[in-house]
Chain A
Amino acid sequence: MSETAGAADRSIGVAFEKAKAEGRALLIGCMPAGFPTVPGSIAAMRAMVDAGVDVIEVEIPYSDPVMDGPVIQRASDIALAGGVRVADTLRIIEAVAATGAPVVTMTYWNPIERYGVDAFARDLAAAGGTGLITPDLIPEEAGEWLAASDAYGLDRTFLVAPSSTDRRLAMTVAHCRGFVYATALMGVTGARTKTSEAAPTLVGRVRAVSGLPVGVGLGVGTGAQAAEVGRYADGVIVGSALIRCVLEAADETAGLAALGTLSTELAEGVRSVRR
């Protein structure tokens, strides 16, 4: 395990600052751990980093992913059918963090509760993970995670939504560390033909109460969409479109090639607009 200096370089905050200095938004690419296999997912995440994705979001596959659309559901089912375990996810995080790209983990709450919140935080930090995005954990239920993330210096990304009231939004953002995840649409994950009109307003509402970077996810799938979202958000989060490259490929080589091509397009997208 590398020492603290290395860990600081891999922090999300530093990555956002670097992108900001370059006058662009940060690109976050998501892939479920163990999809299509454990080595296959490591290869996919490395290909994304090589093609210019700034931060890798590793999703822990879960049997009942209610915030996810059909693409991530299918990928998660494939990973679980392949026998991937939470411990494998930690190995994958370690392998991807070794590329130098910051790795954030997205997870539904039950696998963490089952593993033990404190034990998971300890092992995540040891593996070089930066923190958690928690789609079904709201700050009111997060007491144990607030304590564990403080104890191990991990980031906490809770979601805000267009339906969040001002009071809730301020409370949620106050509990975030690293960055805030703004769900652009009222809906589940999945690439859409049009990006959200609600997202810029939501990002503005977060900025009004916090200096934390804001990532926008749900519905982004092309370079042009990444550019559009990159005009107003600090981070552009892409999941389903990248995962589909692997899901729909004839074989692993073709999947990695498609993934590389789309990652490059998205990376060019966020670099095509000056902020």
Chain B
Amino acid sequence: MSAPTLPDSSAQMPDGAGHFGPYGGRFVPEALVAALDELDAAYRKALSDESFQSDLARMMSEYANTPSRLYPAERLSARVGARILLKREDLNHTGAHKVRNVLGQALLTKRMGKPRVIAETGAGQHGVASATAAAYLDLECVVYMGEVDTARQALNVARMRMLGATVVPVTSGSRTLKDALNEALRDWVANVDRTHYIIGTTAGPAPFPEMVREFVRGIGVEARQQCLDATGALPDAVTACVGGGSNALGIFHAFVPDTDVRLYGFEAGGDGIETGRHASSITGGSSGVLHGTRTYVLQDEDGQTVESHSISAGLDYPGVGPEHAWLNDIGRARYSPVTDAEAMDAFQLLCRTEGIIPAIESAHALAGTLKIIPELAAELGREPTIVVNLSGRGDKDVHTAGEYFGILDGER
């Protein structure tokens, strides 16, 4: 693949203190500031360090199996009235875009001379990816996971343990992803001199949102060039699901200067925004501070975090990366909710038309795409070309989906 030529992206960078407009920044205990400064310095050095960049590029190619393909989904396209190009992040090692972020951060951990990494995980995907990178680069790994999630994702717990990681069930608060994040932050405060915290998404205190974006933005750089190569033009729209938002920023970032390319982020609508049981922080939340950053948050009148709900564990988080909050406010990307039911319809459609079982997260991206096709086609006066980020594969969701569709033996 030839090197893509990109417009200058400096206009999208956060300011020197990690702010994206009013969002981002650092809302952390003072004890962590030195570690964030150290990380920031190591990250900026790595950006211009040829040996870091070449090591990472080699790992991404020979180990993570990237660049991922941009696949023209022809049967699906014929069914839905749009030219759908799927960015096949599901074919990466460990089955999702997350490997890009963890390899970057794990290599940075080695460069900082720290022997230990910690991570939080909801469904277990980021935990598995972190455990994988730790095994690959010989790092000690501890993964915090809510007790509710260790119970419903027992296979991923076993995977992490096979890879040599220690999995710590978190019993505080609501015993889910947000509490796992709290516990990881507590560990980090206590062990910061020998530990790096691999945050799993483009959230958290600066420099995490910017740094994680840097490690995943290859998705969009690749997709942009692949689309030009395949169709001779940029797509009309790029779509992705948004939980914390790393796969979405990963594919959006290279397209942000291309103002003719519409960017759509689809949040988990759970049972529907109106029911209050959802995980749509931008559509159904408000500005607040959570886990070290200012962003859109699901919260009550007193600023207490409200529990999120989604059939997709990977989107089941009551906050969102601060850059998404900003892209929303400036109107560069549009965010809307997709319900559990809509996502599962799209899940089944992709299984049956293309023989691809997507992660339920990625099924949200596809479901949202189906909803915007009519208006987009009307606006353009022709069939639109849409790049959909198929951020992960559905192996981990077979049980959930099997239950949902009532097709597990003994279920019905």
CB of B31 within 8 A of CB of A136, answer no
Cβ–Cβ < 8 Å partners of B29 in chain A: 66-67, 135-136, 159, 161, 183
Complex CA–CA separation, A112 to B289 (angstroms):
10
A187, CB-defined interface residue at 8 Å: yes
A52, CB-defined interface residue at 8 Å: no
CB of A63 within 8 A of CB of B173, answer yes
Cβ–Cβ < 8 Å partners of B28 in chain A: 66, 136, 138
Cβ–Cβ < 8 Å partners of B17 in chain A: 140
The proximity string for A residues 65-96 relative to B, scoring 1 for CB distances below 8 Å and 0 otherwise, is 11101100110010010000110000000000
A/B pair count, beta carbons within 8 Å: 119
Spot the interface stretch: A164-172, A227-235, A239-247. Answer: A164-172
B25, CB-defined interface residue at 8 Å: yes
CB of B30 within 8 A of CB of A183, answer yes
A152, CB-defined interface residue at 8 Å: no
A98, CB-defined interface residue at 8 Å: no
Cβ–Cβ < 8 Å partners of A187 in chain B: 31, 186, 189-190
Complex CA–CA separation, A125 to B301 (angstroms):
21
A188 contact from B178, B190, B299, B301, Cβ within 8 A: B190
CB of A114 within 8 A of CB of B172, answer no
Q: How many residues of B are counted as interface, with CB atoms below 8 angstroms from the partner's CB atoms?
A: 36
Complex CA–CA separation, A86 to B190 (angstroms):
29
Instruction: Output the least CB separation between A162 and chain B (Å).
Output: 8
Find the B residue at minimum CB distance from A67: B29
A70 contact from B25, B172, B192, B292, Cβ within 8 A: B172
Residues of chain B from 22 to 63 with CB closer than 8 A to chain A in the complex: 25-31, 33-35, 37
Contact A159-B302, Cβ < 8 Å, known A110-B288, A140-B17, A187-B189: no
Residues of chain A from 43 to 78 with CB closer than 8 A to chain B in the complex: 62-67, 69-70, 73-74, 77
Cβ–Cβ < 8 Å partners of A77 in chain B: 172-173
CB of B305 within 8 A of CB of A113, answer no
Complex CA–CA separation, A188 to B182 (angstroms):
11
Residues of chain A from 103 to 140 with CB closer than 8 A to chain B in the complex: 109-115, 135-138, 140
Residues of chain A from 234 to 275 with CB closer than 8 A to chain B in the complex: none
Complex CA–CA separation, A114 to B303 (angstroms):
5
Instruction: Output the least CB separation between B69 and chain A (Å).
Output: 40
CB of B186 within 8 A of CB of A110, answer no
A80 contact from B189, B190, B304, Cβ within 8 A: B304
Complex CA–CA separation, A214 to B289 (angstroms):
28
CB of A141 within 8 A of CB of B27, answer yes
Cβ–Cβ < 8 Å partners of B299 in chain A: 110, 114
A65 contact from B182, B190, B302, Cβ within 8 A: B182
Q: How many residues of A are counted as interface, with CB atoms below 8 angstroms from the partner's CB atoms?
A: 42
Cβ–Cβ < 8 Å partners of B186 in chain A: 66-67, 69, 187-188
Cβ–Cβ < 8 Å partners of B189 in chain A: 66-67, 186-188
Residues of chain B from 271 to 322 with CB closer than 8 A to chain A in the complex: 288-292, 297, 299, 301-305
CB of B27 within 8 A of CB of A136, answer yes
CB of B301 within 8 A of CB of A64, answer no
CB of B30 within 8 A of CB of A159, answer yes
Find the A residue at minimum CB distance from B286: A114
A27, CB-defined interface residue at 8 Å: no
Complex CA–CA separation, A112 to B17 (angstroms):
22
A210, CB-defined interface residue at 8 Å: no
Contact A64-B178, Cβ < 8 Å, known A113-B303, A114-B301: yes
The proximity string for A residues 177-197 relative to B, scoring 1 for CB distances below 8 Å and 0 otherwise, is 000000101111000000000
Cβ–Cβ < 8 Å partners of B303 in chain A: 62, 86, 110-115
B185, CB-defined interface residue at 8 Å: yes
B30 contact from A62, A69, A86, A138, Cβ within 8 A: A138
Complex CA–CA separation, A74 to B175 (angstroms):
12
CB of B302 within 8 A of CB of A115, answer yes
A160, CB-defined interface residue at 8 Å: yes
Instruction: Output the least CB separation between B296 and chain A (Å).
Output: 12
Find the A residue at minimum CB distance from B291: A64
Instruction: Output the least CB separation between A140 and chain B (Å).
Output: 6
Instruction: Output the least CB separation between B189 and chain A (Å).
Output: 6
A35, CB-defined interface residue at 8 Å: no
CB of B31 within 8 A of CB of A111, answer no
Cβ–Cβ < 8 Å partners of A109 in chain B: 27, 289
Residues of chain B from 57 to 100 with CB closer than 8 A to chain A in the complex: none
Instruction: Output the least CB separation between B204 and chain A (Å).
Output: 11
The proximity string for B residues 2-32 relative to A, scoring 1 for CB distances below 8 Å and 0 otherwise, is 0000000000000001000000011111110
B-to-A contact residues, CB < 8 Å = 17, 25-31, 33-35, 37, 172-173, 178-179, 182, 185-186, 189-193, 288-292, 297, 299, 301-305
Q: What are 8 sample pairs from A and B whose C-beta atoms fall under 8 A apart? A: A66-B28, A66-B291, A70-B172, A86-B303, A160-B30, A162-B31, A165-B37, A186-B190
A-to-B contact residues, CB < 8 Å = 62-67, 69-70, 73-74, 77, 80, 85-86, 109-115, 135-138, 140-141, 158-165, 168, 172, 183, 185-188
Known: A65-B182, A73-B172, A80-B304; 7 extra A-B contacts, CB below 8 A, are: A62-B303, A63-B304, A67-B29, A109-B289, A110-B297, A168-B33, A186-B189
Leading 3 A-B pairs by shortest Cβ distance:
A114-B303, A161-B31, A187-B190
